[in-house]
Amino acid sequence: MSQQQSARYPSLQNRVVFVSGGASGIGASIVSHFCAQGARVSFVDIDDAAAVALIATIADEGMTPPRYIHSDLTDTGALQSAISSVIEQDGPIRVLINNAANDDRHELDAVTPEYFDNRMAINIKHHLFAAQAVSGPMADAGGGAIVNMGSVTYMVGQGGMPCYSLAKSAVHGLTRSLARDLGEKNIRVNMVVPGWVITDRQRDLWLTAESEEEVLRAQCLKRLLMADDLARAVLFFAADDSAMCTAQSYIIDGGWV
């Protein structure tokens, strides 16, 4: 992960940051970029091996490593307990990044009530309850920023994952609602909307020569979208430089038309 080309945001120095799903993919890049800014970063995930490897990489690059807390986001109590422990140790969380998600493909006929509930828990429910847990202390500290991670899937009408697309469209509505409710407390809420970001998971499961050609044909910019492209935008919406930006959905997809 490269931070050499990233802008420096003085307001992020020593700021307490909490990232969900931070062990791999987009989340790992976000964690690494915040560490490079000198923030005090904590993240939750269930992939212990990936988390340990990320922490080692960040430490090897001379940065203060983040704190990792193993937490299953489908367990709301465990998530809010993890957030409470960070607040007790580091003080109010001033930046919340609701990143965790799972984009497993599935067909409509295969969806059961149990699968639906699980997809909502993984892809939308934790956004609300993490925001609930951080908002009080964040407001008392003078405000802060919540950045929710969306997806272009529901915008472009992509099929093959109806529960995921439903949840990601709900992230958009939640972002707008929370921005209104929390604005008086000087808490900004925005959504960063990725196109097809080529993480290791995407390469292993779905990227083929044909799909790569298709996405590059659809994009105005003719290179694959990477996790660092998203992390840099997240930094901006977390920093004081975006002090009057809220209730926005910022699409980063290489100009997918």
pLDDT (tens place) for every residue of the chain, 257 residues total: 455 567 999 999 999 999 999 999 999 999 999 999 999 999 999 999 999 999 999 999 999 999 999 999 999 999 999 999 999 999 999 999 999 999 889 999 999 999 999 999 999 999 999 999 999 999 999 999 999 999 998 888 888 899 999 999 999 999 999 999 999 999 999 999 998 888 888 778 767 888 888 889 999 999 998 999 999 999 999 999 999 999 999 999 999 86
Count of domains in the chain?
1
Sheet of 40-45, strands arranged across: 67-70, 40-45, 16-20, 95-98, 144-149, 187-194, 249-252
Token duo for residue 247: 């209730």
Residue 184 resides in a domain:
yes
How high is the pLDDT of residue 1? Answer: 46
The secondary structure of 106-163 as a DSSP string is --GGG--HHHHHHHHIIIIIHHHHHHHHHHHHHHHTT-EEEEEE--STTTTT--S-HH
How high is the pLDDT of residue 2? Answer: 52
CB 237, CB 147: distance < 8 Å: yes
How high is the pLDDT of residue 3? Answer: 54
Verify whether residue 164 is a known catalytic residue: yes
Residue 3 resides in a domain:
no
Residue 90 resides in a domain:
yes
**Helical (H) or strand (E) element with 64:** none
Residue type (1 letter), 57 = T
Query: What whole-number distance in Å separates Cα of residue 51 and Cα of residue 54?
Result: 5
State the alpha helices, DSSP H only, in the chain: 25-36, 48-60, 76-90, 113-120, 126-140, 162-182, 200-205, 209-218, 227-238
Residue 4 resides in a domain:
no
Residue 2 resides in a domain:
no
Residue 60 resides in a domain:
yes
Residue 178 resides in a domain:
yes
Residue 1 resides in a domain:
no
| CATH number of the structural domain spanning residue 73 | 3.40.50.720
Q: Is the pTM of this model over 0.75?
A: yes
Query: What whole-number distance in Å separates Cα of residue 87 and Cα of residue 85?
Result: 5
Token duo for residue 221: 């910019």
| Domain carrying residue 21 | 11-252
| From 9, 154, 164, 250, the catalytic residue | 164
How high is the pLDDT of residue 198? Answer: 83
Question: What are residue 38's phi and psi, to 5 degrees?
Answer: 85, 15
Query: In terms of Cα–Cα distance, which of 16, 8, 13 is closest to 95?
Result: 16
3-class SS of residue 186:
coil
